[in-house]
């Protein structure tokens, strides 16, 4: 039975939920088994006992784009891959959202993968509370592969109720005094259908980018750095992504062993300059298959655009 929070789903078709590339059978079985094995959230509780396990780094960056004199600096705060579920401890989430609140951003940007092992009633409520706790003039979110594999309509409701605009191949202009800035939210490259039809997916992204083509500052958010293939050479100044977790299990020196993303293998974390675009790949916040990370600490980011 639905709790009171999800009663708002009645009659709600979902603004961006649509057919997706599904899990393969093996992955679905794995998640079913993990949901049974991890009941009670013991993996996150166990990992919390490890010193420093709930620490989240703050990545602070500046972006000088020569905006008109008199424009105030625009502060963006970016968090991704929160993965509410049995492998992410509440203390890690609280630390991440504390940093996002402390940043006092003009715009909060969220990079997707809000849950792991399903968008349950309690996770959806917790997500709503956390996002609601950040004060920002505007909150913008994209969805990730784990969201589309869960119940994206529930996540859309939770995010919307926390004052968030969800952009899937859509774009908007910021209100004054930052109306020289346009932000586009891109579809998740991994789960979007027409896997073989790169051109049609590129066309959908191009339509979104066209809506902010006359903005002096153009920013895009995509769950995965594979979105770089869509925006490369198209005049985007800043592309913010997550998905990689920095490899999640990495070797000393932050060297990932495996990253499930072609572009993520090249850009697994951090800031990079690529063909006129500043690409930032967050290591995200939460756990997915396993609760622990090695040499891939969680992070959130702040960008001051001047």
| Site membership for Fe ion, residue 187 (CB under 5 A) | no
Instruction: Select from 65-73, 80-88, 100-108, 196-204 the region that touches Fe ion (CB under 5 A).
Output: 80-88
Q: Which is nearer to Fe ion, 83 or 218 (CB)?
A: 83
Min dist CB 35 to Fe ion, Å, is 17
Among 6, 38, 81, 228, binds Fe ion (CB under 5 A): 81
Q: Which is nearer to Fe ion, 124 or 259 (CB)?
A: 259
Min dist CB 259 to Fe ion, Å, is 11
Min dist CB 215 to Fe ion, Å, is 29
Residue 111 contacts residue 79 (beta carbons within 8 Å): yes
Min dist CB 224 to Fe ion, Å, is 9
* Token representation of residue 116: 């792991």
Min dist CB 80 to Fe ion, Å, is 7
| Site membership for Fe ion, residue 188 (CB under 5 A) | no
Q: Which is nearer to Fe ion, 81 or 188 (CB)?
A: 81
Q: Name the DSSP class of 239.
A: E
Q: Which is nearer to Fe ion, 54 or 145 (CB)?
A: 145
Q: Which of 130, 113, 120 lies closest to 241, judged by CA?
A: 113
* Token representation of residue 224: 């995965």
| Site membership for Fe ion, residue 226 (CB under 5 A) | no
Min dist CB 300 to Fe ion, Å, is 14
Q: Which is nearer to Fe ion, 115 or 212 (CB)?
A: 115
Query: Where are the strands (E) in the chain, listed by range?
Result: 57-63, 74-79, 107-110, 138-141, 164-166, 170-173, 181-185, 217-221, 238-241, 250-251, 255-256, 270-274, 277-281, 299-305
Look-up: residue for tokens 């869509």? 230
| Site membership for Fe ion, residue 113 (CB under 5 A) | yes
Residue 86 contacts residue 41 (beta carbons within 8 Å): yes
Residue 112 contacts residue 80 (beta carbons within 8 Å): yes
Q: Which is nearer to Fe ion, 63 or 282 (CB)?
A: 282
Size of the site for Fe ion (CB under 5 A): 2
Q: Which is nearer to Fe ion, 113 or 226 (CB)?
A: 113
SS3 sequence, 191-257?
A: CCCCCCCHHHHHHHHHHHHHCCCCCCEEEEECCCHHHHHHHCCCCCCEEEECCCHHHCEEECCCEEC
Min dist CB 219 to Fe ion, Å, is 21
Instruction: Select from 56-64, 74-82, 167-175, 246-254 the region that touches Fe ion (CB under 5 A).
Output: 74-82
> Would you call 32 helix, strand, or coil by DSSP?
helix
Q: Distance from CA of residue 303 to its chain's centroid? A: 15
Binding residues for Fe ion (CB under 5 A): 81, 113
């Amino acid at each position: 039975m639905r709790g009171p929070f999800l009663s708002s789903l009645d009659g709600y078709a979902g603004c961006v939920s649509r057919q997706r590339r599904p899990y393969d059978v093996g992955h679905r079985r794995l998640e079913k088994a993990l949901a049974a094995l991890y009941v009670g959230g013991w993996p996150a509780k166990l990992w919390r006992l490890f010193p420093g396990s709930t620490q989240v780094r703050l990545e602070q960056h500046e972006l000088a784009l020569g905006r008109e004199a008199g424009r105030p600096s625009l502060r963006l705060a970016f968090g991704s891959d929160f993965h509410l579920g049995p492998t992410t401890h509440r203390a890690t989430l609280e630390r991440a959202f504390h940093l996002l609140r402390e940043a006092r951003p003009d715009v909060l940007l969220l990079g997707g993968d809000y849950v792991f092992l399903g968008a349950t009633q309690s996770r959806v409520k917790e997500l709503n509370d956390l996002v609601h706790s950040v004060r920002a003039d505007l909150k913008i979110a994209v969805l990730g592969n784990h969201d589309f594999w869960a119940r994206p309509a529930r996540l859309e409701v939770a995010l919307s109720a926390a004052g968030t605009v969800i952009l899937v191949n859509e774009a908007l202009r910021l209100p004054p005094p930052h109306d020289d800035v346009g932000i586009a939210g891109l579809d998740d490259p991994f789960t979007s259908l027409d896997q073989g039809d790169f051109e049609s997916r590129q066309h959908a992204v191009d339509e979104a980018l066209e809506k902010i083509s006359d903005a002096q500052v153009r920013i895009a958010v995509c769950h995965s750095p594979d979105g770089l293939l869509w925006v490369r050479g198209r005049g985007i100044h800043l592309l913010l992504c997550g998905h990689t977790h920095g490899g999640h299990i990495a070797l000393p020196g932050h060297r990932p062993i495996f990253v499930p993303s072609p572009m993520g293998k090249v850009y697994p974390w951090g800031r990079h300059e690529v063909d006129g675009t500043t690409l930032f790949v967050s290591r995200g916040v939460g756990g997915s298959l396993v609760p622990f990370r090695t040499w891939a600490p969680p992070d959130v980011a702040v960008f001051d655009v001047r």
